[in-house]
C-alpha cells in the first residue's frame, strides 16, 4: 500500500511537472524559437568546422573563418540587392493602385448585380488607397525588417559560442541525465544535429537556386519586378508544399496585366521549375535532410504559423523532424527494455 502511494505521488508530480514545463515553454516560446534558430545555424556550420579540424586547423580559427565568410557574403548580398529591392518596392507601391483599378474594371464588367458591383468597387478602392501609402514608407518597411538586428546578433554570438564550446555545453547537459539514458540521448543529439544541419544547408542551396531560376525566367519574359518576385519565391521555398504555390500568385497576377499569354507562360515556367526541384534538386540536395509525409508537413506549418507566425512556419518542419527522432528513439528504448 505504501509503494502504491509513492507511485501515485510520483505520477502526480510528473503530471504537474509536465504541465508546468509546457506552460513555461509556451510563455517563452519566442526564446525557444530563437534558440532553435541558433541550433540550425550551429548544425549547418558544425560539419565544416569538423572538416577543417581534420586538416589540423584549430577550432577557434575554423569557426572565425566560417563566420567571417558568412558575414561577408551577407553584407555583399545586402549591398547588391537591397537598393534595387527598395526601388522595386517603391515602384510596386506606385503600380498597385493602377493594377487594382484595372482589375476592378475587369471584374465589374463580369458582374450583373448592382449591389455586388458597389461592394466590390468600394473594397478595391480601399485596398488601392491603402497600398498607395506603401510608396511613402518603403524604406521604413525595410528598416522594420532589419529591426530584429539585436536578435540577429544574439543568434550569431550564441551559435558561435556553441560551435566553440559544444563539447562542454553538451557534457553539462548530459551530466544531468541518468547514466542508463545517456546512450539514447547521444543518439538523439547526433541524429537531430545531422538532420538539422542537412536541412539548413539544403534549404539555403534550394532557395538560392530556385530564386535564381525565377529571376532568369521572369527577366527573359520581361515581367515587371522580376527581382522582387524572384526573392519572394526563393524565400517562400523554405516553406514546403505551400510556399511554391503562394509564390506563383503575385507573378501570374502581374504578368496577366501585360498579357494573358504571359501569365500562362509564367504558370508553365513555375510548374517546370517546381518539377525540376521536386524530381532532381530535392533528391540531390536534401537526401540527408528531413523526409516527412506531406500531411504531417502541412499540419506542422499550420501549428507553427499559429504559434510563431512566419518564423514558426519556417522552423516547424525541422522541429517536427527532431520530435520524430525523439519519439523513434523512445520507442526503440522501450522495445529494448521489454526484450530484456
> Any idea which residue has 509536465 for its cell?
18
340 residues of the chain, pLDDT tens digit each: 444 444 556 667 777 777 787 788 777 777 878 888 888 888 889 888 888 888 888 888 988 988 999 889 888 888 887 787 777 777 777 766 666 666 656 555 555 444 444 554 555 455 445 444 444 444 444 444 444 677 788 888 888 888 888 878 888 888 888 887 888 888 888 888 888 888 888 888 888 999 999 999 999 988 888 888 898 888 888 877 778 888 888 888 888 877 788 889 999 999 999 888 877 877 777 666 666 667 777 788 888 877 777 777 778 888 888 888 888 888 887 777 777 6
Any long-range contacts for 271-278 (C-beta under 8 Å, 24+ apart)? Answer: 273/210, 273/213, 273/214, 273/217, 274/244, 276/213, 277/206, 277/209, 277/210, 277/237, 277/244
Cell of 148: 530584429
pLDDT recorded at residue 215: 92
The 3-class secondary structure across the chain, one letter per residue, is CHHHHHHHHHHHHHHHHHHHHHHHHHHCHHHHHHHHHHHHHHHHHHHHHHHHHHCCCCHHHHHHHHHHHHHHHHHHHHHHHHHHHHHHHHHHHHHHHHHHHHHHHHHHHCCCCHHHHHHHHHHHHHHHHHHHHHHHHHHHHHHHHHHHHHHHHHHHHHHHHHHHCHHHHHHHHHCCCCHHHHHHHHHHHHHHHHHHHHHHHHHHHHHHHHHHHHHHHHHHHCCCCHHHHHHHHHHHCCCCCHHHHHHHHHHHHHHHHHCHHHHHHHHHHHHHHHHHHHHHHHHHHCCCCCCCCHHHHHHHHHHHHHHHHHHHHHHHHHHHHHHHHHHHHHHHHHHHHHHC
The size of the chain, in residues, is 340
Distance CA 201, CA 41 (A): 9
Give the global pTM. Answer: 0.72
Distance CA 37, CA 153 (A): 12
Smallest Cα–Cα separation from 52: which of 43, 63, 38, 68? 63
pLDDT recorded at residue 272: 92
Torsion region of 171: left, alpha or beta (phi above 0 gives left; psi -120 to 50 gives alpha): alpha
Amino acid at each position: 500500500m505504501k509503494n502504491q502511494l509513492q507511485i501515485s505521488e510520483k505520477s502526480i508530480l510528473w503530471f504537474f511537472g509536465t504541465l508546468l514545463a509546457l506552460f513555461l515553454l509556451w510563455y517563452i516560446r519566442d526564446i525557444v524559437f530563437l534558440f532553435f534558430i541558433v541550433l540550425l545555424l550551429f548544425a549547418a556550420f558544425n560539419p565544416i568546422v569538423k572538416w577543417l579540424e581534420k586538416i589540423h586547423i584549430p577550432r577557434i580559427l575554423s569557426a572565425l573563418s566560417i563566420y567571417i565568410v558568412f558575414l561577408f557574403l551577407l553584407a555583399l548580398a545586402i549591398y547588391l540587392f537591397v537598393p534595387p529591392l527598395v526601388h522595386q518596392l517603391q515602384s510596386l507601391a506606385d503600380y498597385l493602385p493602377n493594377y487594382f483599378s484595372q482589375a476592378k474594371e475587369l471584374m465589374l464588367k463580369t458582374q450583373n448585380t448592382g449591389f455586388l458591383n458597389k461592394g466590390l468597387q468600394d473594397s478595391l478602392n480601399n485596398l488601392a488607397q491603402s497600398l498607395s501609402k506603401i510608396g511613402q514608407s518603403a524604406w521604413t518597411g525595410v528598416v522594420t525588417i532589419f529591426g530584429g538586428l539585436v536578435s540577429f546578433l544574439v543568434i550569431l554570438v550564441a551559435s558561435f559560442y556553441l560551435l566553440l564550446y559544444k563539447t562542454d555545453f553538451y557534457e553539462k547537459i548530459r551530466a544531468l541525465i541518468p547514466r542508463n539514458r545517456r546512450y539514447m540521448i547521444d543518439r538523439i543529439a547526433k541524429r537531430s544535429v545531422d538532420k538539422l544541419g542537412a536541412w539548413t544547408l539544403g534549404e539555403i542551396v534550394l532557395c538560392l537556386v530556385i530564386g535564381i531560376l525565377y529571376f532568369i525566367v521572369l527577366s527573359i519574359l520581361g515581367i515587371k519586378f522580376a527581382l522582387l518576385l524572384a526573392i519572394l519565391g526563393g524565400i517562400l521555398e523554405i516553406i514546403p508544399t505551400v510556399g511554391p504555390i503562394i509564390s506563383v500568385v503575385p507573378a501570374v497576377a502581374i504578368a496577366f496585366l501585360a498579357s494573358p499569354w504571359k501569365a500562362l507562360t509564367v504558370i508553365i515556367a513555375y510548374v517546370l521549375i517546381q518539377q525540376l526541384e521536386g524530381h532532381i534538386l530535392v533528391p540531390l540536395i536534401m537526401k540527408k535532410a528531413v523526409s516527412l509525409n506531406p500531411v504531417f508537413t502541412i499540419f506542422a506549418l499550420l501549428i507553427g504559423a499559429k504559434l510563431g507566425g512566419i518564423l514558426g512556419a519556417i522552423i516547424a518542419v525541422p522541429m517536427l523532424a527532431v520530435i520524430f527522432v525523439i519519439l523513434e528513439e523512445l520507442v526503440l528504448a522501450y522495445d529494448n527494455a521489454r526484450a530484456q
